[in-house]
Chains A and B, each alone.
Chain A
């Protein structure tokens, strides 16, 4: 389809603003723009149709099954959107006086209270804008803690090799040296490997539990105890909190601070890549290090972005928390786990799980044997799923499993959807054996055929140019 710029007609426009009712003022010489930016010139109907056409070329949760592992693509309730759009929230200036923003404070305080209860933490901030940003905030809590105690030799953050790529990247942004430790064969922390790297230079450990292969680490209390004993702190990556909320709390596992992705666990929409929002929680002794805004709050705190965070996303998450309440939160978690186990068992016998045991909210299929046998890769299977109108799982992650496909169905999928999905996976398993060529060329009925990514990287075209 055409780009919006290719639809532009010189002189066409929308009438949106009234005539200026005060005297115009000219910018002084030297500050003026010589040529106008080449924005498209269109009528409102042109714009409306362009974006409707684009919107038809997007697969969202509302279009169909979206079991993207580690991303918790659950249904985003529409009421949450209505609440965030209330003029009483959307129209509030962040620097309006405190007595005029009591409702906003109530939203933040209530959401903080509920999330502290769910995670077993004592303090909470909503300033970070996304998960990785929350990791950055959380690890800075650890950094400030050691610094305040004058414990400057703690320069290392331990990260398992199964971790999300953001973990080591975050530790590096916080000035720490990253110590990667190998996972045990079951994807959990190898206690001996952990002990071997713990020491006086340990600042902390970053861990996801359930981990990135969808298993709950049974040794978690031992792990956090060992880290504390060495003088380090434990950071909980809340990417997988959906599996355990209301069932077991990171605070009770021995973690000192945590981030939660409100756009995963608490059902706020992901918008094609954001805005997310992140809550970072911590135990009492770290509260003094939480971030604040230089303009809105008292000075002397770290700050990870302007103002109080992605507030309107917090409104959506609070609406979700209130809807689910004390029974609904664990009910969501338990059914997320049930759905994952059910789907894994229904697929099993064809594509095999990397770990044949009860999983948490997600599981990993290992296609390395299948690939050897048929030549059909995890990528081929993923691309073939697109022809069924189903979003592929997360591919080639975690890196400790080769030819990995990671599925996270979430609790908001029905048994019928899971049965259908299992049926499709089973069909593809057979298809790959009989007609691998067909799968190498998939998808066949999508918006586009497979794109040439190498060309995109080697000859970058990153903007439209006027012909």
Chain B
């Protein structure tokens, strides 16, 4: 099946109308020796029922865990039913980028509302319509902070390893240098940062909470960065912003982050959502699509893709980024999530994630041999030592629990509002049992 609706008779009629006798003639510009003279080495096409069986069988080869105590950049939060049903509506789903404002007001308004919500979460003035994910948002932020004199990017070693590697790759592209600011006790080393803030530094990126779940002293880091004349970029967990001081209030010039916790499934890593916001001052350096409000010819409120002079289809090699397609439907998902959660629901999700993670930490560290690796306050992730690591994780797995992620020095655990006390108690009991042996 190829979803081609024309019948064989119609296809013949159309070929005649075009003035050719067969399909081969349509490809007359393709040199003969290049044409594929055989069938593709692919299986024969299948009916919908057969395809459904085949693909479902692949899905069945994955292990589904009933309790997930692993985060590290992908978080298992509760997804309300309406957050799944609204983005699945066929019009939202099957539209292209809203180039024609007169028949895309629904998409444009939803993005304008998304931009407003991101500004509210981050305290910033301007948000773009999204970028690919949190890691590319960090890389795009680093690029927007560079100018002719300041070319070096600093990133905290306590950021997500995939973020560090992505920013490094983008820097490799433009030929700019990335320097890693070392950690001390699992957090950015402030004194080391100060020493590294030389005049060629364009920006410093810190993740809040950081990869190990710890709360960075963002205000102080930001002050040091600004004192050296560089820009301060913060990568934030959006759920944590229900409780935590906004990046704007911490002095950030650019706020970015991974929006996956806002209603997107784990999905083996994507599609996720990169959010990106900045202050009025840096508005025109922000990459990606931005929706703006205007009026139509009748004076009615209307929305359009705006500030396009920054973008690749106008500026070509002088554009701030090559991004065009972003993650619009994921931005819509995040908007619906934030709309049904509301300020109180978001606060609850943050509060409960933090409470459950601390409950899990207390339960685990009461077991002999398990202790927190790093001091200091954390949000919903923490690192513990764990003897018999493999054995413990296997025992948890047999009980349908995905335990924490092995990292240097121990295991990185995560809890969210989704896990009940009972589930956490069960996990703690299993760890205790294995270690008592």
Contacts of A225-273 to chain B: CB distance below 8 A: 244, 246-249, 252-253, 263, 267, 269-273
Contact A58 B107 (CB under 8 A): yes
27 pairs from A and B in contact (CB 8 Å cutoff) = A22-B355, A30-B219, A39-B343, A42-B342, A48-B82, A66-B96, A86-B59, A93-B68, A94-B73, A96-B63, A97-B393, A101-B268, A130-B132, A135-B322, A220-B31, A249-B36, A275-B325, A304-B166, A306-B163, A306-B166, A306-B269, A311-B269, A322-B45, A324-B45, A326-B39, A449-B296, A463-B125
Q: Does B373 contact A (CB under 8 A)?
A: no
| Residue contact A274 to B130, C-beta cutoff 8 Å | yes
Task: Give CA–CA (A68, B272) in the complex, Å.
Answer: 26
Q: Could you tell me if B343 and A103 are in contact, using CB atoms closer than 8 angstroms?
A: no
Q: Is B298 an interface residue (CB 8 A)?
A: yes
Which A residue sits closest to B35, measured CB to CB? A248
DSSP majority for the A interface? loop
Query: Does B372 belong to the interface (CB within 8 Å)?
Result: no
Q: Does A353 contact B (CB under 8 A)?
A: no
- Indicate which residue in B6, B103, B110, B329 contacts A335 across the interface (CB closer than 8 Å): B6
Given contacts A83-B56, A307-B269, A453-B306, contact A274 B325 (CB under 8 A): yes
| Residue from B20, B55, B135 within 8 A of A306 (CB atoms) | B135
By CB atoms of chain A within 10 A, which of B242, B268, B397 has the most?
B268
CB-contacts of A427-460 with B (<8 A): 441, 443, 446-453, 455-457, 460
* Contacts known (A83-B52, A386-B100, A391-B103); A130 close to B59, Cβ less than 8 A: no
Interface residues on A, range: 35 or more
Task: Pick the interface stretch among A197-205, A280-288, A367-375, A410-418.
Answer: A410-418
| Cβ < 8 Å to A, chain B residues 85-115 | 86-107, 109-113, 115
- Specify which of A17, A61, A178, A339 lies most central, judged by the most chain B CB atoms within 10 Å of its CB: A17
- Give Cα distance in the complex from A182 to B238, angstroms: 47
Among residues of A, the one whose C-beta sits closest to the C-beta of B6 is A415
Q: Would A295 and B72 be within 8 Å (CB), given that A175-B174, A303-B169 are in contact?
A: yes
User: Is B356 among interface residues, defined by CB-CB distance under 8 A?
Assistant: yes
Q: Write the B329-362 contact mask toward A (1 if CB under 8 angstroms, else 0).
A: 1101001101111111111110110111011000
Question: What is the CB-to-nearest-CB distance from B299 to chain A, in angstroms, rounded to a whole number?
Answer: 9
Q: Write the B32-54 contact mask toward A (1 if CB under 8 angstroms, else 0).
A: 00111001111111101001101
Do residues A221 and B34 form an inter-chain contact, with CB atoms below 8 A?
yes
Instruction: Kindly name the residue among B30, B164, B244 whose own CB sees the greatest number of chain A CB atoms within 10 A.
Output: B30
Name A147's closest neighbour in chain B (CB-CB): B172
Instruction: Kindly provide the distance from the CB of B115 to the nearest chain A CB, expressed in whole angstroms.
Output: 5
Are A273's CB and B107's CB within 8 A? yes
Which of A59, A90, A274 is within 8 Å of B265, CB to CB?
A: A90
Partner of B43, one of A21, A22, A326: A326
Contact: A136 with B322, CB < 8 Å?
Answer: yes
By the criterion of a CB under 8 Å from any partner CB, how many residues of chain B are at the interface? Answer: 202
Query: In chain A between 378 and 397, which residues have their CB closer than 8 angstroms to a CB of chain B?
Result: 382-383, 386, 391-392, 394, 397
Chain A positions within 8 Å of B99 at CB level: 68, 394
Count how many pairs of residues, one from A and one from B, have CB atoms less than 8 Å apart in the complex.
683
Residues of A close to B355: CB separation below 8 A: 20, 22-25
Cβ of A342 < 8 Å from any Cβ of B? yes
Choose, from B177-185, B186-194, B309-317, the stretch at the interface. B309-317
| A352 located at the interface, meaning its Cβ lies under 8 Å from any Cβ of chain B in the complex | no
Q: Is the CB of A14 within 8 A of B90?
A: no
Contact B173 A173 (CB under 8 A): yes
For the complex, give the distance between the alpha carbons of A50 and B113 in Å.
12
- Kindly state the separation between the CA atoms of A117 and B424 in the bound complex, as whole angstroms: 48
Q: Is the CB of B270 within 8 A of A450?
A: no
Stretch with Cβ within 8 A of A (4 or more), from B198-206, B224-232, B284-292: B284-292
Interface residues of A in 56-107 (CB under 8 A from B): 56-63, 66, 68, 71, 73-77, 79, 81-83, 86-97, 99-104, 106-107
Interface 1/0 per residue, A352-365 and B, CB below 8 Å: 00000010100000
A89 neighbours in B (Cβ, 8 Å): 59, 62, 267-268
A338 touches B62 (CB 8 A): no
Q: Are A95 and B74 in contact (CB under 8 A)?
A: yes
When distances are taken between beta carbons in the complex, the residues of chain A under 8 Å from B246 are 33, 37
Question: What is the minimal beta-carbon distance from B234 to any residue of chain A, in angstroms?
Answer: 13
User: How far is it, in angstroms, between the C-alpha of A136 and the C-alpha of B170 when the chains are bound?
Assistant: 9
Q: A164 — nearest CB in chain B belongs to which residue?
A: B313
Residues 310-328 of chain A: 1 if any B CB is under 8 Å from the residue's CB, otherwise 0? 1111010011011111111
**B321 x A169 contact (CB < 8 A):** yes
Instruction: Name the CB-closest residue of B to A15.
Output: B345
Which of B44, B312, B328 sits near A132, CB closer than 8 Å?
A: B312
Residue from the list B244, B270, B327, B393 in contact with A308, Cβ < 8 A = B270
CB nearest neighbor in B for A57: B106
Nearest-CB residue, chain A, relative to B338: A39
Check B268 against A383 for contact (C-beta < 8 Å): no
Name B29's contact: one of A216, A272, A313 (CB within 8 Å). Answer: A216
The answer to the question of B18 belonging to the interface, with a C-beta cut-off of 8 Å to chain A, is: yes
Give every chain A residue within 8 A of B94 (Cβ-Cβ).
60-63, 76, 269-270
A414 touches B126 (CB 8 A): no
B134 within 8 A of A: yes
A114: chain B residues at CB < 8 Å are: 42
